[in-house]
Amino acid sequence: MTSPFWSTLNRIEHKFDALMGEAVRITPQASGDFGAAADPDRLPFEVVALVYEVDPSSADAGQMLARLPYEEWELEIHRPAIAGRVIRKGDDVQLGQRPGAPRFSVSRVDDVDVNRLRFTLARKAAG
């Protein structure tokens, strides 16, 4: 039996994502000899997710040996929203509601939270 707390949290997270999230398209990728291509065993799908750019200035700059400009994005998905689908490192993510529909690659999967999946994204070159 699910506790009332978890049931309430599950409902609230779903509503929060619907209000604050955006539709993203996930295209699973399979590694090949000459790069990656769409994975024929895992179909592309759309899901509502929270997407945000991580501010690198929040790091402790005093501890850094060098400063390199970079761009880091994160994506959060409420687990029940993907209904058992698997998102892996290297999969393609497209933000269709943003100007230019930028594309990213999943560079890290954080599978620790019980209710949410978090992914670190790396921007793909346009073209």
pLDDT tens for the chain, 127 residues: list them.
568 887 888 788 888 888 999 999 999 999 877 778 889 999 999 999 999 988 766 556 566 666 556 678 999 999 889 988 999 999 999 999 999 999 999 999 998 788 899 999 999 987 5
Q: Does 3.20.20.370 match the CATH number of domain 4-123?
A: no
What residues contact residue 67 under an 8 Å CB cut-off, 6+ apart?
61
The pTM of this model reads 0.80
Which among 43, 47, 53 has a CA at the least distance from the CA of 22?
Answer: 47
pLDDT at site 7: 80
What residues contact residue 95 under an 8 Å CB cut-off, 6+ apart?
22, 24, 51, 101, 102, 103, 104
Cβ neighbours of 56 (radius 10 Å): 13
